């Protein structure tokens, strides 16, 4: 009689001292075999953890014989009696370590080929291999925990929004291409040869239409697609916590989201997050941190030292300032201990992202215990300028100052990169702190010099601040929007805005973005039409769920938050997608490849 594996009594890690003397039936995979010829020990794993099986040839020769045939990752069902382990043989590393199962019956449900890598958290197999065998990688406890945590986060989010009276509504995956922003993933239509659907970059327009429909509070855990180059924190398909509300201003959105994040943090980490989150003006974030997603867990703010730098003899500073640029400094507390090798390495990496070099000084004291600069560009500063810069930056003995000179945007890019890298390297980032903040007062537009037009900073449906509406005609560059970003520990979780709910303002914005009335009608005609029928004021936000996951679980890669992720070249190494297709399929879709190398189906 085969074991009734469908009558499992408990999970592996649940077997404990309460069960001693009871018969249990467990199922799982063979983690490890320790065969003493006589006594055999097998660890069995399921998604809860491990339990040790004991096979005694004197007690049960038949099971013992099967135990000898077991290999890693065999799938088994086991029935036996739970026994307390003898004195001194308890394994404190196992949840079930106080007990073991004396096996009476065991079935091999299926055998396993030798796995290409060890199924263990500390496996050293490289990611390429693990992605190819993702189903095995997902047996590793660390990834199982990750996906289970993801489930709990999503559940907490749904709990919150349900309690708040939000309606979860699904929006189309096959939709209309609106060639703005990111590249679309296109899907050819068979029924309409030569026409294409696009996969949504976000449900943005649909959720606005739902507001016009009167749904008032919308939420969706929405899959989104963008055909752009990838990063550790970017995948071609990703999930957004997408929400929208009617009859609200930004503060209402902040309030709902802050309480949502607080609820999630409480559920996942048991911590209370202080509310309200700080509101940081875009301008201030750029000045103090050089980025619109500042990590405020540590200091090292950027300080403008243009005035003092002007008096130095250093050509790089002089040239930058003459060209209308700025000079900023960043103080690294205790940074004077950094070696030449370390700072050279930083300079090299910095050159890799477009910087000319890395001016720096180390801070010491002279004989009169006055601040003195050493090494690097120290020789270009008089004692007076030294004192001025030291005063502005708060530099003291043992510190190090990095400088950057040039156009403000470049200086911000280089110093904020440096700030993050140095903070990480020197372990200046406090652990277990959660710094949420809102970036507000974001400019409406940025000037696109190539195309000679304004671009939306957020997206073209973002409303300008009411008081700035007159500036739309006179000075668009100074218009601030009602857009906002949510930032956690230096990562942008997402952004949103109060939307334009008037067709005339929407048309004016499209005009500034150089979208002709014809193009407006072609791309967004349905939205402009809808805005004619009594649209409510509305606003919302979309947060990257995968990034939330990454930050909350301390993972370094977005891939580890997903069940079946893609590589940096957007390939799935397991399924080998994307793949060539049959000529017949292409014909049906009225498609013909122009690819230089002929891809053939495999």
> Which residues of the chain form contacts with RNA (CB under 7 A)?
32, 34-39, 41, 43, 52, 54, 56-58, 71-72, 85-86, 89-91, 93-94, 97, 100, 114, 116-118, 123-129, 131, 180-182, 201-202, 204, 226, 228-234, 352-354, 413, 417, 455-460, 557, 559, 567-569, 571, 573
- Residue 198 tokens read as 């696009």
From CA 427, how far away is CA 528, in angstroms rounded? 51
Q: Which is nearer to RNA, 97 or 476 (CB)?
A: 97
Q: Torsion over CA of 406, 408, 413 and 419, rounded to 10 degrees?
A: 90
Q: Provide the minimum distance between the beta carbon of 42 and RNA in the complex, in angstroms, as a whole number.
A: 9
From CA 279, how far away is CA 277, in angstroms rounded? 6
Q: Which is nearer to RNA, 177 or 312 (CB)?
A: 177
Q: Which is nearer to RNA, 309 or 573 (CB)?
A: 573
**Residue 212: in which H helix or E strand, if any?**
helix 204-213
Nearest to residue 52, comparing CAs of 37, 39, 67, 42?
Answer: 42
Q: Which is nearer to RNA, 123 or 213 (CB)?
A: 123
Q: Provide the minimum distance between the beta carbon of 378 and RNA in the complex, in angstroms, as a whole number.
A: 28
Q: Which is nearer to RNA, 234 or 259 (CB)?
A: 234
Q: Provide the minimum distance between the beta carbon of 285 and RNA in the complex, in angstroms, as a whole number.
A: 15
Q: Tell me if residue 477 falls in helix, strand or coil.
A: helix
Q: Provide the minimum distance between the beta carbon of 36 and RNA in the complex, in angstroms, as a whole number.
A: 4
Q: Provide the minimum distance between the beta carbon of 204 and RNA in the complex, in angstroms, as a whole number.
A: 4
Q: Tell me if residue 89 falls in helix, strand or coil.
A: coil
Q: Tell me if residue 372 falls in helix, strand or coil.
A: strand
Q: Which is nearer to RNA, 33 or 331 (CB)?
A: 33
Q: Cβ(197)–Cβ(237) under 8 Å?
A: no
Q: Which is nearer to RNA, 116 or 193 (CB)?
A: 116
Q: Cβ(241)–Cβ(157) under 8 Å?
A: yes
Q: Provide the minimum distance between the beta carbon of 524 and RNA in the complex, in angstroms, as a whole number.
A: 10
Q: Provide the minimum distance between the beta carbon of 270 and RNA in the complex, in angstroms, as a whole number.
A: 29
Q: Are strands 23-35 and 40-46 parallel, antiparallel or unpaired?
A: antiparallel
Q: Which is nearer to RNA, 85 or 284 (CB)?
A: 85
Q: Which is nearer to RNA, 90 or 187 (CB)?
A: 90
How many angstroms separate the Cα of 459 from the Cα of each of 66, 437, 455, 486, 521?
64, 21, 9, 16, 17
- Residue 105 tokens read as 């019956």
Q: Is the dihedral of CA 175, 176, 177, 178 positive or negative?
A: negative
Q: Which is nearer to RNA, 171 or 456 (CB)?
A: 456
- Residue 71 tokens read as 């290999």
Q: Provide the minimum distance between the beta carbon of 293 and RNA in the complex, in angstroms, as a whole number.
A: 10
**Burial per residue of 220-237, b for 16 or more beta-carbon CB atoms within 10 angstroms, e otherwise:** bebbbbbeeebeebebbe
- Residue 36 tokens read as 């003493």
C-alpha radius of gyration, the chain, whole number: 30
């Amino acid at each position: 009689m085969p074991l009734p594996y469908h009558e499992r009594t408990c999970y592996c890690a649940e077997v404990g001292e309460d069960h001693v003397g009871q018969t249990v039936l467990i199922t799982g995979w063979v983690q490890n075999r320790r065969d003493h010829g006589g006594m055999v020990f097998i660890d069995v794993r399921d998604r809860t953890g491990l339990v040790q099986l004991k096979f005694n040839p004197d007690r049960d020769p038949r099971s013992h014989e099967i135990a000898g045939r077991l290999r890693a990752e065999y799938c088994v069902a086991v029935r036996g009696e739970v026994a307390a382990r003898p004195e001194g043989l308890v394994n404190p590393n196992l949840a079930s370590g106080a007990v073991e199962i004396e096996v009476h019956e065991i079935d091999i449900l299926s055998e396993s080929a030798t796995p290409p890598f060890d199924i263990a958290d500390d496996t050293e197999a490289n990611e390429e291999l693990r992605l190819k065998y993702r189903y095995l990688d997902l047996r590793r406890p660390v990834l199982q925990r990750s996906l289970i945590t993801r489930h709990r986060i999503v559940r907490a989010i749904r709990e919150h929004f349900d309690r708040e009276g939000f309606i979860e509504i699904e929006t189309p995956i096959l939709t209309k291409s609106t060639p703005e922003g990111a590249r679309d993933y296109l899907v050819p239509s068979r029924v309409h040869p030569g026409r294409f659907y696009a996969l949504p970059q976000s449900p943005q327009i649909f959720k606005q239409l739902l507001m016009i429909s009167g749904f008032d509070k919308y939420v969706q855990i929405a899959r989104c697609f963008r055909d752009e180059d990838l990063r550790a924190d970017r995948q071609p398909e990703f999930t957004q916590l997408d929400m929208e509300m009617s009859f609200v201003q930004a503060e209402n959105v902040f309030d709902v989201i802050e309480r949502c994040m607080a609820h999630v943090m409480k559920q996942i980490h048991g911590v209370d997050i202080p509310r309200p989150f700080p509101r940081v003006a875009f301008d201030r974030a750029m000045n103090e941190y050089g980025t619109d997603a500042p990590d405020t867990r540590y200091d090292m703010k950027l300080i403008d030292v243009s005035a003092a730098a002007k008096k130095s003899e250093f050509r790089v500073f002089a040239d930058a300032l003459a060209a209308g640029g700025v000079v900023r400094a960043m103080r690294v507390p205790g940074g004077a201990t950094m070696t030449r090798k370390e700072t050279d390495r930083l300079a090299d990496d910095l050159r890799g992202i477009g910087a000319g070099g890395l001016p720096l000084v180390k801070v010491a004291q002279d004989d009169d215990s006055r601040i003195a600069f050493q090494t690097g560009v120290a020789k270009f500063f008089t004692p007076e300028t030294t004192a001025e810069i030291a005063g502005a930056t708060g530099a003291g003995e043992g510190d190090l100052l990095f400088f950057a000179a040039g156009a403000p945007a470049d200086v911000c890019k280089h110093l904020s990169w440096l700030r993050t890298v140095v903070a990480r390297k020197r372990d200046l980032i406090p652990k277990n702190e959660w710094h949420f903040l809102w970036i507000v007062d974001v400019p409406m537009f940025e000037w696109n010099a190539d195309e000679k037009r304004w671009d939306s900073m957020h997206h073209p449906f973002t409303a300008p601040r009411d008081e700035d509406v007159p500036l739309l005609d006179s000075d668009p560059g100074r218009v601030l929007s009602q857009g906002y970003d949510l930032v956690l520990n230096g990562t942008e979780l997402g952004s949103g805005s109060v939307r334009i709910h008037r067709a005339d303002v929407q048309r004016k914005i499209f005009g500034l973005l150089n979208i002709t009335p014809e193009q407006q009608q072609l791309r967004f005609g349905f939205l402009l039409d809808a805005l004619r029928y009594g649209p409510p004021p509305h606003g919302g936000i979309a947060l990257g769920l995968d990034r939330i996951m990454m930050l909350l679980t301390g993972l370094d890669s977005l891939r580890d938050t997903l069940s079946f992720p893609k590589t940096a070249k957007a390939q799935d190494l397991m399924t080998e997608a994307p793949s060539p297709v049959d000529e017949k399929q292409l014909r049906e879709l009225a498609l013909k490849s122009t690819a230089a190398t002929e891809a053939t189906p495999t």
